[in-house]
Amino acid sequence: KAGVTQTPRYLIKTRGQQVTLSCSPISGHRSVSWYQQTPGQGLQFLFEYFSETQRNKGNFPGRFSGRQFSNSRSEMNVSTLELGDSALYLCASSLAFGYGYTFGSGTRLTVV
Amino acid sequence: GQQLNQSPQSMFIQEGEDVSMNCTSSSIFNTWLWYKQDPGEGPVLLIALYKAGELTSNGRLTAQFGITRKDSFLNISASIPSDVGIYFCAGHENNDMRFGAGTRLTVKP
C-alpha cells in the first residue's frame, strides 16, 4: 500500500514569490491535513480538507491556502513568501480528522 | 493556539533502560496521539488513544490517556539504539489539533 507522497522534496524560492506543494494521500483516505514544522515553533496545524472541503484551519495568515481535488489529492499554496516561511511542510492523510494520520516525508521549503 | 507542554525536552539514556515522557494541556482533548520522527522524515504514528483512562501498548511502547483528558504519557521499555529520534504528542478536540514540542531521545549503546 503506497504511503503519503509529497512533491517536491526540496524547494528554494525567493522572497515575494509564491509556491505550490503537492500531496497524494493513501488510497481511500479522504482527510488530508497540512502542517508546518520549524525549529522554533515546532509542528503547527495549517488546515484540513475532507471531500474537497476545508473543514478545519489553524492560525495562519491568508497567504497560506489549499485545496483538495476529487481524487483526494491536495495542494498547498503560499503566496508572497517571507523568510519566516522557510520550514518543513508536512502533509498527512487519514480516514477522518483526528484519527491517527500517516505523514508524508515532507517538502523542505527554503526562502532566500 | 497554545502548543502542548511536553517533557522532557531531551533524554540521554543507556541501552536497555526504560523511558518515560509526558504531555499536558490546559485544554481537554478527546484524542491523544504519539508520533516518532526520524531526521528528514515525517512523523510516524506510534499509538493512538481515543478514550480517557485508556492504556494501550504497541510492542515495547505503552501510552495512557489521562483520566482528566488533559494529559498523556508514553513509556518505552528496554530501549534499543533504533529508538533514537524525536517523539511528539498530539491532542485533538473537534477542530483543534495541537502538538508538543517533542522529546529528543538519545540511546547510548
Q: DSSP letters along B71-103, please?
A: EEEEEE-S--GGG-EEEEEEEEETTEEEEB--E
Gap from A15 CA to chain B (nearest CA, Å): 24
Q: Residue A100 is nearest to which of B40, B48, B100, comparing CB atoms? A: B48
Does A98 sit within 8 Å of B97, measured CB to CB? Answer: yes
Looking at the complex, does the CB of residue B104 fall below 8 Å from at least one CB of chain A?
no
The rounded distance, in Å, linking the Cα atoms of B102 and B3 is 11
Return residues 39-68 of B near A (CB < 8 Å): 40-45, 48
**Mean pLDDT in residue range A10-29:** 97
If you write DSSP's letter for every residue of B3-60 in order, what string do you get?
Answer: PBEEE-SEEEEETT--EEEEEE-SS--SEEEEEEE-TTS--EEEEEE-STT-EEEETT
Residue B5, Cβ density class (10 Å: 0-12 exposed, 13-18 middle, ≥19 buried): middle
Residue B11 C-alpha cell reads as 533524554
pLDDT at B2: 56
Checking if the pLDDT of B1 tops 80, the result is no
**Mean pLDDT in residue range B47-67:** 95
Strands B31-37 and B44-49: antiparallel
Checking if the pLDDT of B7 tops 80, the result is yes
Checking if the pLDDT of A25 tops 70, the result is yes
Which band of pLDDT confidence, cut at 50, 70 and 90, is reported for residue A1?
Answer: low
Which band of pLDDT confidence, cut at 50, 70 and 90, is reported for residue A20?
Answer: very high
Looking at the complex, does the CB of residue B97 fall below 8 Å from at least one CB of chain A?
yes
Rg of chain A in Å (alpha carbons) = 13
Q: B21 vs A1, which has greater pLDDT?
A: B21
Q: How many CA atoms lie within 13 A of B9 on its CB side?
A: 2
The average confidence (pLDDT) of chain B is 93
**Mean pLDDT in residue range B71-77:** 97
pLDDT at B39: 84
Does A105 sit within 8 Å of B42, measured CB to CB? Answer: yes
Looking at the complex, does the CB of residue B2 fall below 8 Å from at least one CB of chain A?
no
- What would the pLDDT profile of B77-103 be if each residue is shown by its tens digit? 999 999 999 999 999 887 778 899 999
Which of the 8 DSSP states describes residue A108? E
Looking at the complex, does the CB of residue A60 fall below 8 Å from at least one CB of chain B?
no
Checking if the pLDDT of B105 tops 80, the result is yes
Which band of pLDDT confidence, cut at 50, 70 and 90, is reported for residue A49?
Answer: very high
Identify any residues that bridge with B36 across adjacent strands, giving them in sequence order.
Answer: B44, B87
pLDDT at B40: 82
Checking if the pLDDT of A48 tops 70, the result is yes
